[in-house]
């Protein structure tokens, strides 16, 4: 009886969620689905994320085969991340999730609207 989603589980849903699950992973994938970015570019493009979390998530996504890490051996180092071929198969799934989520947000607002209008900080449009 696993405690964490991170443990291997035979359940496909858990398997999928364990890949995107992480406070900033969705946002990271969103950013990279537009174009490859350097670590620091990513960090600056995601308000609120810390370098620590960014790197931890990047490493997990690389480990899972979703991202590819290109490193040019220079000084200072220049590392660029991009979505792998395999990672691309994830994009349509994210779109479905996003579509449902957008609808859910509409449904939920009406009460508790704190941000509904204020331009969304990140990962806003599909």
Partner DNA sequence: AGATGTACTGACAAATTCGTCAGTGGATCG
Partner DNA sequence: CGATCCACTGACGAATTTGTCAGTACATCT
Can you tell me which of 6, 35, 44, 104 binds its own copies, judged by CB under 8 A? 104
DSSP H/E element including 71: strand 67-72
CB of 52 to its own copies, least distance (A): 13
Residue 79 exposure: Cα atoms within 13 Å on the Cβ side: 13
**Sheet with 67-72, side-by-side order of all strands:** 37-38, 78-83, 67-72
Can you tell me which of 6, 15, 35, 88 binds its own copies, judged by CB under 8 A? 15
Binding segment for DNA among 1-9, 83-91, 97-105, 109-117 (CB under 7 A)? 1-9
Pull the structure tokens for residue 52: 């620590």
CB of 23 to DNA, least distance (A): 3
CA dist 75 → 36, 48, 71, 72 (Å) = 20, 28, 11, 9
Nearer to DNA, 47 or 92 (CB): 47
> Which 21-50 residues touch its own copies, going by CB under 8 A?
21, 23, 26-27, 30, 47-48
* Site membership for its own copies, residue 16 (CB under 8 A): yes
């Amino acid at each position: 009886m696993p405690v964490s989603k991170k443990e291997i589980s035979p359940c496909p849903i858990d398997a999928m969620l364990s890949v995107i699950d992480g406070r900033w992973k969705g946002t990271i994938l969103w950013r990279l689905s537009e174009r490859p970015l350097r670590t620091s570019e990513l960090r600056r493009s995601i308000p609120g994320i810390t370098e620590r979390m960014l790197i931890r998530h990047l490493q997990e996504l690389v480990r899972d085969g979703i991202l590819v890490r290109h490193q040019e051996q220079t000084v200072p180092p220049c590392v660029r991340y991009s979505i792998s071929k395999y990672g691309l198969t994830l994009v349509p799934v994210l779109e479905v999730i996003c579509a449902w989520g957008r609808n859910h947000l509409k449904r939920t607002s009406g009460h508790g609207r704190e941000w509904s209008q204020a331009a969304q900080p990140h990962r806003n449009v599909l």
